[in-house]
């Protein structure tokens, strides 16, 4: 009887291990499938580098170096936006080059399908981080339409300009409406505040709208406008 119970326990342990492995494989395959280029293009999205070859693309959610601490995008190495937003981003790049010919825009996040949005929200649900992620049950956000971009500026050497925080930093230090207070408090420098202003100026001139809590995030339009005139990335 003891032998039978021992074998049963071993079999159950093996079974649970197999379930974990299969769950991981399934999860990876789902990410891989959802992030295929054809899924983006059939929604009218474009690879931004086809609009401007100077764009630098380094998607933070295609690695574990992000506030979630997980790779959400698999092996995706291209940034997709709706062609309207991509066209506006090209204008922002042109405006930047008029001022600093050696500087380029670096894209850290762009279009995000709803399947990934759900995974991202679930990974932070019930934590203080949840307020920074659009709730998929409420329709998601503009990333889910290919109408939002997380972006910064790199110099002639490809190094990011100092902005006071890294992209994806969660905290008041990333707020754009408190920058002069942060400068006075010594939290960020005047140079870092000026670099943020440079980014905002070219993006706003191109038609984008900044997000008060994240210096790197820009929306092409309002969410209500997107829901009326654009397709959500339901894959």
Same domain, 14 and 102: no
Over the stretch 156-165, which tens digit does the pLDDT of each residue have? 999 999 999 9
Over the stretch 91-117, which tens digit does the pLDDT of each residue have? 999 999 999 999 999 999 999 999 999
- The C-alpha atoms of residue 89 and residue 96 are separated, in whole angstroms, by 11
Same domain, 60 and 28: no
Asked whether the beta carbons of 151 and 105 are under 8 A apart, the reply is: yes
Same domain, 210 and 166: yes
Same domain, 135 and 220: yes
Same domain, 157 and 205: yes
pTM as predicted: 0.86
Domain that holds residue 2: 1-34
Same domain, 24 and 137: no
Question: How many distinct structural domains can be found in the chain?
Answer: 2
């Amino acid at each position: 009887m003891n032998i039978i119970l021992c074998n049963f326990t071993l079999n159950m342990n093996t079974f649970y291990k197999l379930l974990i492995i299969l769950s991981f494989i399934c999860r990876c395959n789902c990410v891989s499938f959802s992030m295929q280029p054809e899924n983006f293009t059939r929604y009218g999205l474009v690879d931004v580098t086809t609009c401007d070859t100077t764009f630098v693309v380094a998607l933070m959610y295609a690695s574990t170096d992000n506030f979630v601490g997980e790779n959400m995008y698999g092996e995706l190495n291209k940034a997709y936006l709706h062609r309207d937003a991509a066209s506006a981003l090209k204008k922002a790049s042109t405006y930047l080059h008029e001022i600093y010919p050696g500087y380029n825009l670096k894209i850290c996040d762009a279009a995000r399908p709803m399947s990934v949005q759900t995974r991202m929200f679930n990974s932070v649900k019930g934590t203080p981080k949840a307020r920074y992620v659009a709730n998929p049950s409420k329709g998601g956000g503009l990333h889910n339409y290919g109408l939002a971009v997380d972006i910064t500026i790199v110099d002639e050497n490809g190094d990011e300009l100092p902005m006071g925080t890294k992209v994806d930093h969660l905290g008041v230090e990333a707020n754009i409406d408190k920058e002069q207070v942060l400068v006075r408090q010594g939290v960020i420098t005047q140079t870092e505040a000026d670099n943020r202003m440079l980014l905002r100026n070219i993006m706003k001139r191109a038609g984008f709208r900044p997000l008060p809590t994240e210096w790197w995030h820009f929306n092409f339009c309002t969410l209500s406008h997107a829901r009326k005139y654009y397709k959500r990335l339901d894959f």
